Amino acid sequence: MAQKTYADAGTALEGLLFDGMTIAAGGFGLCGIPENLITAIRDSGVKDLTVYSNNAGVDEFGLGLLLQTKQVKKMVSSYVGENAEFMRQYLSGELELEFNPQGTLAERMRAGGAGIPGFYTKTGVGTQVAEGKELKEFDGETYVLERGIVADLAIVKAWKGDQHGNLIYRKTARNFNPLAATCGKVTVAEVEEMLPVGSLDPDNIHTPSVYVQRVLKGEHEKRIEQRTLREA
């Protein structure tokens, strides 16, 4: 078994980053995001990135860090409403944006990871989402062709992992992570807790180690995206 564990995010990404690459990132808002790996990507200075992620983080955290430094050329996302810098760059023409319905984006990642180059879905037919894409009729209904995603790099965050890269996600933090983990040519995972091989119940593993090439234990801030308080 090849050595998969790395001391930190920077060393885990060594030799993987290059200008113009595509990155699939797990997470939903600020839940389950690979924050250590995102920071290391920022610090590397790599640029002209195309990032596949449900959303773009917030100002000054998550993928928002890469927007601040203008390292992202294009975002392929479902929702970007929490990031003012994203809005500014998009409206000024500095940033390309491809909106995908949330389920479509998830299935595009899953399909790419499963070796499926494309699939047909009814979602988006008759809207801007379908513009320029192939349409096909099945049983009297119109469907739009969507392409599977295969990214140069996938970055994910898990709750527990072992030294071979078997991963378990925790509750809502599972979100896009298992899908993103499958669709990278190389997948790097950061975990909250690193365990010896054999510690995880095989029936509880969400991402098998065959999908993960590198794994590290990270320190996580776990910010709350929108804190809502009420008087007692």
Provide the residue ranges of all domains of the chain, joining segments of one domain with +.
Answer: 5-117+149-217
Q: Mind listing the pLDDT tens digit for each residue in 116-128?
A: 999 999 999 999 9
Residue range 97-111, pLDDT digits in tens: 999 999 999 999 999
pLDDT digits over 169-181, tens only?
999 999 999 999 9
What is the tens place of the pLDDT at every residue in 70-79?
Answer: 999 999 999 8
The pLDDT of residue 59 is 84
Which helix (H) or strand (E) segment holds residue 194: the answer is strand 184-195
Burial 194-206 (b: 16+ CB within 10 A, else e): beeeeebeeeebb
Q: Is the pLDDT of residue 165 over 60?
A: yes
Q: How far apart are CA 127 and CA 111, in angstroms?
A: 23
Angle at 159 between CA 157 and CA 165, to 5 degrees: 70
Average pLDDT in the chain: 94
- Looking at 3.40.1080.10, 3.30.70.60, 3.90.1150.10, 3.50.50.60, the CATH number of the domain 5-117+149-217 comes to 3.40.1080.10
Element (H, E) at 9: helix 9-12
**pLDDT at residue 225, as a whole number:** 72
| Token pair listed for 74 | 């294009």
Are the CB atoms for 80 and 87 separated by under 8 Å?
Answer: yes
